[in-house]
Chains A and B, each alone.
Chain A
Amino acid sequence: MTIIEEAAPVPAPRDGEDAPLLEVRDLHVEFATREGVVRAVNGVNYNVHAGETLAVLGESGSGKSVTAQAIMGILDMPPARIPQGEILFRGQDMLKMSTEERRKIRGRRIAMIFQDALSSLNPVLSVGYQIGELFRVHQGLSKKEARAKSIELMDRVKIPAAAARVNDYPHQFSGGMRQRIMIAMALALEPDMIIADEPTTALDVTVQAQVMDLLAELQREYQMGLILITHDLGVVADVADKIAVMYAGRIVETAPVRELYKRPAHPYTRGLLDSIPRLDQKGQELYAIKGLPPNLLHVPTGCAFNPRCPKAQDICRTEVPVLVPVTEQDGTDLVGRGSACHFWKETIHG
């Protein structure tokens, strides 16, 4: 029997509150498939402030991309359903807006960057056209003006010889350059917020670093909120302010970035950290979390992680753990930390 309780709110991470730019509250997203209903997102809460970077970490199937797509409003709503939840942008619930109102926000106030730039860019239209079209549609600029702006943006994202390359096609650029073009498109209208869905997963390591640096720089410059979705802990360390770890559609841990790496409070996070190969691990077997992510049609009862958890007990198999605030051993609040584990105390403190 599973018992699910209402999630306790996690204390806000900043002093001197500026209200969050984006707030996701108790979001649920389901998909109706031939084999049944898939609960891809199961009560997710997070928020992002201007100038802040939230990294959402998780394996495939954790629901991190679906949450982002729900925020953008680009899910195909027939198979997808949002039975519950709110997505507040600047205090207004986007789920209650009309399609037209949401469309106006998309690309202009909230922009998204996708993983595979080659397939995400239209192969038969020039790069300049694709960037420029944002200006033409949202701001009514002329073709010439839009083109000039495109070149400007391409310069801004450090694409060499932008003026010469503005009429080139996506396949004529390298992977890293293409990703920069996607970033340029996202930035074009100076949005309040950018969601980057695995922006560097398809790139080489050195290029990864360059692209991430660029993102960080632009974010600082424009003071945008950034949601970085990834499964790669290495990428996150430099760029993020805070991290939310997702598993099987739920958030299992939140923490400021340094804290997470130093003292994880959830066995899954601990497992992820332990899986990172280290230089001083000579001759030892590499650690990997045993098992596989769950089939979302048949999520395990209780804590979804229990089949793979080295510390699973009976209660883990029956009660769904709620995200609770994480404290020091003496009870002092640890700002911005939460964990959805029955045994978070043991996990973080020893």
Chain B
Amino acid sequence: MGRYVARRLLQMIPVFFGTTLLIFLMVYALPGDPVRGLFGDKGGSPQVIAALRHQYGLDQNIFVQYFNYMKGIILHADFGTQIASGRPVTDVLGDAFPVTLRLGGFAFAIEIVLGVGLGVYAGLRAGRAADTAVLLFTLLLISVPVFVLGFILQWIFADELQWLEPNVNDASNYGQLLMPAIVLATASLAYVSRLTRTSIAENMRADYVRTAIAKGLPRRRVVTVHLMRNSMIPVVTYLGTDIGGLLGGAVITEGIFNIQGIGGTIYQSIIRREGTTLVGLVTILVLVYLVASLLVDLLYAVLDPRIRYA
């Protein structure tokens, strides 16, 4: 087990550097100059621009820049400075993070409760009408793009029915976060329920379930103890990896509902070509994703004893 963890950690290192390098190159090597962008249409004097570029190290060779950047992260946990405001990226992140965390957490909870619930319901009735209905419904949920869903829900519930606020003014109010959370959770919810449903339907026909029945165990026990323990394994691992998906989806949801979270910040930094902020934020996201990945693998080993001793 220890060797397994060590091996995974070792594998993560090149991936971390690779991904950060990739995003670095994409941001800086592609056309577009963040410093010039600062001045908008007015344009600035070439000396000022040059001075600023020098200040931010943008006049150096790209790989040297990357090296310095990495050094900053590893040695000082310095993820760079936001050019427009001059604030460290970590500060910018610190403001936006709790908001997105609440939104994401809420969405995650919805995804688990509704997703797994629906999936179990359908899985136990595999092949029957209820199952087909759930399958079609989830297909529909997957097909509707997030922003379309956001617009429509916003229109129906906020404008027409006036049950909910159209925008989130106070990001600590969970009532206001409800609609955005649902929108954010929808696609994942559909995947989770399908995965759960399939897992349960398959496991229901497994030999060990037949044995459990042959042992005279009541149906309830067969389902909750034997079936669920096995069926939930792929679902739990998927949920772990979905964290990355939530982060990505947050960009859109935050845009529609006007939430000042990480998603919004990322979007702004892309449009404004705030290279440093963008790279900084993405690096942090990558770290989060890698850690989540590792935890999911460990969780998988905990849940499935067959993996533990491999």
CA distance A124 to B300 in the complex (A): 11
Q: Does B218 contact A (CB under 8 A)?
A: yes
Interface status of B291 (Cβ within 8 A of chain A): no
Q: How long is the Cα–Cα vector from A107 to B206 in the complex, in angstroms? A: 18
A105 at the A/B interface (Cβ < 8 Å)? Answer: yes
Q: What are the residues of chain B within 8 A of A114 when measuring CB–CB?
A: 207, 210-211, 214
* Contacts of A114-157 to chain B: CB distance below 8 A: 114, 116, 119-125, 133-134, 137-138
B203 smallest CB distance to A (angstroms): 10
Of B29-37, B171-179, B270-278, B301-309, which binds chain A?
B301-309
Contact of B216 among A103, A120, A125 (CB under 8 A): A103
Indicate if the CB atoms of A172 and B309 lie closer than 8 Å.
yes
From the candidates B213, B216, B306, B309, name the one contacting A137 in the complex (CB within 8 A). B216
Q: Decide if A104 is an interface residue (CB 8 Å cutoff).
A: yes
B230 and A123 within 8 A (CB): yes
Instruction: Tell me whether A46 is interfacial, beta carbon within 8 Å.
Output: no
**Closest residue to B306 on the A side, CB-wise?**
A171
Q: A123-B304, A124-B305, A137-B221 are in contact. Are A107 and B207 (CB under 8 A)?
A: no
Check if A226 is an interface residue, CB within 8 A of chain B: no
Q: Which of B258-310 contact A (CB under 8 A)?
A: 303-306, 309
B215 in complex: contacting residue of A107, A119, A123, CB < 8 Å: A107
Bound state CA distance, A124 and B307, in angstroms?
10
B226 touches A123 (CB 8 A): no
Contact partners of B309 in chain A: CB under 8 A: 172
Convert A169-184 into 0s and 1s, putting 1 for each residue whose CB lies closer than 8 angstroms to a CB of B. 1011000000000100
Q: How many A-B residue pairs have CB under 8 A?
A: 75
CB distance from A66 to the nearest CB of B (A): 13
The residue of chain B having its C-beta at the shortest distance from the C-beta of A72 within the complex is B214
Q: How many residues of chain A have a CB within 8 Å of chain B? A: 28
Q: Is B213 in contact with A106, judged by CB distance below 8 angstroms?
A: yes
Q: How far is the CA of A224 from the CA of B211 in the complex (A)?
A: 20
Q: Are A107 and B208 in contact (CB under 8 A)?
A: no
Any A CB within 8 A of the CB of B8: no
Question: B303–A124 contact, CB under 8 A?
Answer: yes
Q: Which residue of A lies closest to B227 (CB)?
A: A122
User: What CA separation (Å) do A171 and B306 show in the bound complex?
Assistant: 7
- Whether B208 lies near A121 (C-beta < 8 A) is yes
The answer, yes or no, to whether B164 is at the interface (CB within 8 Å) is no
Q: Does A242 contact B (CB under 8 A)?
A: no
Residues of B close to A121: CB separation below 8 A: 208, 211
Whether a CB of chain B sits under 8 angstroms from the CB of A185 is yes
Closest chain B residue, CB of each to CB of A138 = B216
B contacts, CB < 8 Å to A? 206-208, 210-218, 221, 225-226, 229-230, 233, 303-306, 309
A residues near B (Cβ < 8 Å) are: 72, 74, 103-108, 111-112, 114, 116, 119-125, 133-134, 137-138, 169, 171-172, 182, 185
20 CB-based A-B contacts, threshold 8 Å: A74-B210, A74-B213, A104-B216, A106-B216, A107-B215, A107-B216, A114-B210, A119-B208, A121-B211, A124-B230, A124-B303, A125-B226, A133-B221, A134-B216, A137-B217, A137-B218, A137-B221, A171-B305, A185-B211, A185-B215
